[in-house]
Chain A
């Protein structure tokens, strides 16, 4: 019966969307969602929006280096860097790496944390003890130094941040989801499923996971902001990938070129603003989720 199975999967996807429940009712969360939509669009359409290659060294029509141009000069919306690169194009392409890092890291954190929380909470006993001691170890690792160490020992790449986050930041998600699973596990319908013979896997996937998905997304949306901030910090400290244009790299570039001393605000304020916007949008959305999950907390 092929058509029934298709119907089953489509209703399954519909149910996932229902479980995610985008928090559009909350004005802050809505603002966050709009900012996200804007940045996702920018990231996807970066080659169409950016007028120049962000790493290309540009020249004026007189064949002079187009360095340190102010906004508006020679058609550069936000001016150029000391190396003659277009700042607006860098901002646009920075959105791409920021969202790439943010979403992969958030996915890893939410996914690993959810799996760990589900296994520890559902099976308990030794599985729980082992995973939670691992979480204790992860809690003992100072995050930023850990990322720096990873970056120092491997090729500079924006993925270092993602790997480090996946290795460390699942701990919070895992703990919270474990506690949620502990209470779900003793719910009547979970026990009823056991009595009618459902396997552990089936119970976890069908009866427990749908109830923890919103929590996973809450922690995922927090992790997006964390990942972008961390990537910016790492780039600013000089451990970033010099070939990948990110907002953190732009700040580092501006800092190294003493943009502040030369009052080149157009150089470092836009990337800073972009980071603040995206990160706070992430927190707005997670706040919306929080209201949705724990309506009694209020404002």
Chain B
């Protein structure tokens, strides 16, 4: 059934929204915006075994997307389904099973583990929650630590987080996410807090483990180069919406959406003295409380026309991709 497995959807989002209420009665009377649309109308299907990079600048809603998918947030509109089940409606045994099938690797390893917990205790917490028999704990903890490349795992068991380096700690965070053998993992910028010298090691571990366990994965990053290194498919987000979705190599070599083009142009080149072409977009970061009408990107877009202010461009298929731009073909 290997073939069928690959084409079954693991994650389905349909017009998913995550709107936060802000302000109060007085600010509402003054006509100030009352919601922040962290995720606004995202439609997305992720097949089993597929891994996709979520790319975008800070505040674009990529982390919120990940948080919806591990149920740290609940959609305020539309739907987000995990293996056919609406995530926000899960409860009881279904929720317990979901908690062991869907996991998250956090951005900041120094914050993601309880400083009062030894590494062994940190890793035993998910096992206790999943009601794994106690006599299996030790082997599973050791296995998980070995899986993420912490050689000689026994020496780490009784250590505390402050005794570990960032790279080691991020591997522990990964081990915690993987110890229940999940099917789906959200990695939220797992290397952005790490020293450049240890990034490659952690990234390779992530890639190896994902391939070995056949994980469905979402890799969240603002760094196109990292996404390209890890994922075959990339989704570019901007202000809570999908701008472009398609094979990573296609987007890197021939971005169709003007925002993707700007992202590709912004990747630094290794030549220090080489002058950079100015980015093709305006640099003013938008206010997420008050996005422009129509296309959210139009106030920074070099191609914007009157149509962009009136009509929200929906992602539409162009070749292997989906692009949310009225003028993507030009």
List A residues at the B interface (Cβ < 8 Å).
Answer: 1, 15, 187-189, 191-199, 202, 206-207, 210
Q: What distance in Å separates the Cβ of B80 from its nearest Cβ neighbour in chain A? A: 15
Using known A-B contacts A198-B125, A198-B129, determine if residue A192 contacts B99 with beta carbons closer than 8 Å. Answer: no
Q: Are A196 and B111 in contact (CB under 8 A)?
A: no
Q: Are B106 and A192 in contact (CB under 8 A)?
A: yes
What chain A residues lie within 8 Å of B177 (beta carbons)?
195-196
**B85-114: contact bitstring with A at CB < 8 Å (1 yes, 0 no)?**
000000000011001101110111001111
Using known A-B contacts A192-B104, A192-B173, determine if residue A197 contacts B113 with beta carbons closer than 8 Å. Answer: no
Q: Are A196 and B106 in contact (CB under 8 A)?
A: no
Interface residue from B108, B116, B130 paired with A197 (Cβ < 8 Å): B130
Q: Does B176 contact A (CB under 8 A)?
A: yes
Q: Are A197 and B129 in contact (CB under 8 A)?
A: yes
Interface residue from B99, B102, B113, B129 paired with A189 (Cβ < 8 Å): B113
Given contacts A188-B111, A192-B104, A196-B177, list 7 more A-B pairs with CB under 8 A: A188-B108, A189-B113, A194-B72, A195-B70, A195-B104, A196-B129, A207-B114
A-B contact pairs, 30 of them (CB 8 A): A1-B134, A15-B116, A188-B108, A188-B111, A189-B113, A189-B114, A189-B115, A189-B117, A191-B72, A191-B112, A192-B104, A192-B173, A193-B125, A195-B70, A195-B71, A195-B177, A196-B99, A196-B103, A196-B125, A196-B126, A196-B176, A196-B177, A197-B95, A197-B96, A197-B99, A197-B129, A197-B130, A198-B125, A199-B129, A202-B129
Report the nearest A residue to B127, measured CB to CB: A196
What chain A residues lie within 8 Å of B72 (beta carbons)?
191, 194-195
Interface residues of B, count at CB 8 A: 29
What chain A residues lie within 8 Å of B102 (beta carbons)?
195
Q: What distance in Å separates the Cβ of A19 from its nearest Cβ neighbour in chain B? A: 8
Report the nearest A residue to B99, measured CB to CB: A197
**Cα–Cα, bound, A171→B173 (Å):** 38
Interface residue from B95, B106, B116, B134 paired with A210 (Cβ < 8 Å): B116
**Cα–Cα, bound, A188→B176 (Å):** 13
From residue 72 to 91 of chain B, which have CB atoms closer than 8 A to chain A?
A: 72
List B residues at the A interface (Cβ < 8 Å).
Answer: 70-72, 95-96, 99-100, 102-104, 106-108, 111-117, 125-126, 129-130, 134, 173, 176-177, 180
What chain A residues lie within 8 Å of B95 (beta carbons)?
197
What chain B residues lie within 8 Å of A202 (beta carbons)?
129
Report the nearest B residue to A187, measured CB to CB: B111
Report the nearest A residue to B103, measured CB to CB: A195
**Cα–Cα, bound, A164→B144 (Å):** 54
What chain A residues lie within 8 Å of B116 (beta carbons)?
15, 210
Q: Which 9 A-B pairs have the closest CB atoms?
A: A197-B99, A188-B111, A197-B129, A196-B126, A188-B112, A189-B114, A195-B104, A192-B112, A195-B70
What chain B residues lie within 8 Å of A197 (beta carbons)?
95-96, 99-100, 126, 129-130
What chain B residues lie within 8 Å of A195 (beta carbons)?
70-72, 99, 102-104, 177
Interface residue from A192, A198, A199 paired with B113 (Cβ < 8 Å): A192
Q: Are B100 and A189 in contact (CB under 8 A)?
A: no
Q: Are B129 and A188 in contact (CB under 8 A)?
A: no
Q: What distance in Å separates the Cβ of B195 from its nearest Cβ neighbour in chain A? A: 19
Count chain A CB atoms within 10 A of each CB in B100, B103, B116 and give the residue with the most: B116
Report the nearest A residue to B129, measured CB to CB: A197
Report the nearest A residue to B97, measured CB to CB: A197
Report the nearest B residue to A191, measured CB to CB: B72
What chain A residues lie within 8 Å of B180 (beta carbons)?
196
Q: What distance in Å separates the Cβ of B171 from its nearest Cβ neighbour in chain A? A: 14
**Cα–Cα, bound, A187→B108 (Å):** 10
**Cα–Cα, bound, A202→B112 (Å):** 17
What chain A residues lie within 8 Å of B71 (beta carbons)?
195
Q: Are B106 and A191 in contact (CB under 8 A)?
A: yes
What chain B residues lie within 8 Å of A210 (beta carbons)?
116
Q: Are B104 and A189 in contact (CB under 8 A)?
A: no
Using known A-B contacts A15-B116, A207-B114, determine if residue A192 contacts B129 with beta carbons closer than 8 Å. Answer: no
Report the nearest B residue to A18, measured CB to CB: B116
Q: What distance in Å separates the Cβ of B116 from its nearest Cβ neighbour in chain A? A: 6
Q: What distance in Å separates the Cβ of A126 from its nearest Cβ neighbour in chain B? A: 15
Report the nearest B residue to A19, measured CB to CB: B116
Report the nearest B residue to A202, measured CB to CB: B129
**Cα–Cα, bound, A202→B99 (Å):** 15
What chain B residues lie within 8 Å of A1 (beta carbons)?
134
Report the nearest B residue to A207, measured CB to CB: B114
Report the nearest A residue to B67, measured CB to CB: A191
**Cα–Cα, bound, A210→B121 (Å):** 15
What chain B residues lie within 8 Å of A199 (beta carbons)?
129
Q: What distance in Å separates the Cβ of A84 from its nearest Cβ neighbour in chain B? A: 58
Q: Are B126 and A189 in contact (CB under 8 A)?
A: no
Q: What distance in Å separates the Cβ of A109 from its nearest Cβ neighbour in chain B? A: 25
What chain A residues lie within 8 Å of B126 (beta carbons)?
196-197
Count chain A CB atoms within 10 A of each CB in B99, B100, B112, B117 and give the residue with the most: B112
**Cα–Cα, bound, A1→B135 (Å):** 11
What chain B residues lie within 8 Å of A194 (beta carbons)?
72
Q: What distance in Å separates the Cβ of B218 from its nearest Cβ neighbour in chain A? A: 14
Q: What distance in Å separates the Cβ of B110 from its nearest Cβ neighbour in chain A? A: 8
**Cα–Cα, bound, A199→B108 (Å):** 23
Q: What distance in Å separates the Cβ of A214 from its nearest Cβ neighbour in chain B? A: 13
What chain B residues lie within 8 Å of A187 (beta carbons)?
111
What chain A residues lie within 8 Å of B96 (beta carbons)?
197
**Cα–Cα, bound, A151→B96 (Å):** 52
What chain A residues lie within 8 Å of B108 (beta carbons)?
188
What chain A residues lie within 8 Å of B134 (beta carbons)?
1
**Cα–Cα, bound, A195→B116 (Å):** 19
Q: Are A192 and B100 in contact (CB under 8 A)?
A: no
Q: What distance in Å separates the Cβ of B19 from its nearest Cβ neighbour in chain A? A: 16
What chain B residues lie within 8 Å of A193 (beta carbons)?
114, 125
